[in-house]
Amino acid sequence: MEKALRLGPGNPFNLDATLGCGQAFRWEKVDGTWYGVAGDHAIGIRQDGERLLFSGADEAFVRRYFALDLDLPAILSSVDRDPRIHAAIGRCPGLRILRQDPFETLISYICATNTNIPTIKKRIALIAERYGRRLPGGASAFPDAAALAPCSEGEMRGCVLGYRAPYACATAALCAEDPGWAERVAALPYGEARRELLRFPGVGPKAADCILLFAFEKYEAFPVDVHIRRMMRRHYLPDLPEDKPMTCREYDLIAGFSREHFGAYAGWAQEYLFCVREEERA
């Protein structure tokens, strides 16, 4: 049965922007409704003005997953420090950062290196279908570490992971051997949590920052990809090299500047800038 959740004028939310901005890989929009899997919930959800109409989960889960308990106007006010981010906030009103499952997010961003979003979605869907628990209605939850750890590299390559297969296998094994890893990372300050994630095979600086931002509420994390690098060079750091590959030193320079410039919610600024990335091609 479909349920309704009223947002109210002081609680801005944009479902399309939130699910369409590339932070999660298990959602598709069909005839105005988004269908996806979050944790053990196969959810259908659509927005009608200030109402969310949804099925497959209770209101408490929907509020937490979509971060509807956070004061979005206060967060955006804190990062609204220059004309570029001000314009991005105006273009993507109501965009929120999801609270995703740590292990799924960890494996997802190992799968996300050097590829595009449709391919990432295919990889995650195959892993879930082959190794996840079947949910009511036929969708599959993403497997936990214990379920994925026994998989061989060959089986992972069957999910079109390519060279990432050994990384996914080794990371699943490490997480299965250390079931408290996520709670430990969550309890650490940002810098220490990032170093902890970098020990997982296949996790580099950008993946670590994405995982911290989307699964651990480490909102000072500022992932830097080619789009964000282009924006930072154009609007904030004009001395950055234009055509050379990004080094770890440059990544840290951009991310460090952004944390200082945007403050404790720098990751929210990053997501709003990423939302308007296509404008930078003009």
SS3 29: strand
Task: Please state, as a whole number, how many other Cβ atoms lie within 10 Å of the Cβ of residue 282.
Answer: 4
Rounded-to-integer distance, Cα 125 and Cα 26, Å: 7
Q: What confidence category does residue 47 fall into, taking pLDDT thresholds of 50, 70 and 90?
A: very high
pLDDT in tens, 216-259: 999 999 999 999 999 999 999 999 988 889 999 999 999 999 99
What are the pLDDT digits (tens) for 254-277? Answer: 999 999 999 999 999 999 999 998
Highest average pLDDT, of 6-10, 211-215, 273-277, comes from 211-215
Least confident of 159-168, 193-202, 237-246, 259-268: 237-246
Give the start-end residues of each E strand in 31-185: 33-38, 41-48, 51-55
Confidence (pLDDT) at 281: 61
Quick one: residue 25, left, alpha or beta (phi over 0 = left, psi -120 to 50 = alpha)? alpha
pLDDT reported for residue 260? 98
Token pair of 24, please?
């999660």
**Among residues 29, 206, 218, 244, which one is catalytic?**
206
Residue with tokens 């949804």: 54
CA distance 206 to 260: 18
User: What pLDDT is recorded for position 7?
Assistant: 94
Instruction: State residue 1's pLDDT score.
Output: 81
DSSP secondary structure code for residue 263 in this structure: G
- Looking at residue 140, the DSSP 8-state letter turns out to be B
Taking 60 as the threshold, does the pLDDT of residue 282 lie above it? no
DSSP-based three-state secondary structure for 44: strand
Share of the chain above pLDDT 90, in %: 91
Write down the pTM of the prediction. 0.96
- For tokens 């296949």, the residue is 202
For the question of residue 206 being annotated catalytic, the response is yes
Q: What is the pLDDT of residues 12-25, one digit of tens each?
A: 999 999 999 999 99
Overall average pLDDT of the 58-81 stretch? 97
Cβ distance 200 to 174 under 8 Å?
yes
Phi, psi (degrees; rounded to nearest 5) at 172: -60, -40
Whole-angstrom distance between the N-terminal and C-terminal Cα of the chain?
45
Neighbours of 107 (CB within 10 A): 29
Read off the pLDDT of each residue in 170-181 and give the average, rounded to a whole number: 97
Structure tokens, 96: 């929120």
In the chain, % of residues over pLDDT 70: 99
> Is it the case that residue 149 has pLDDT exceeding 90?
yes
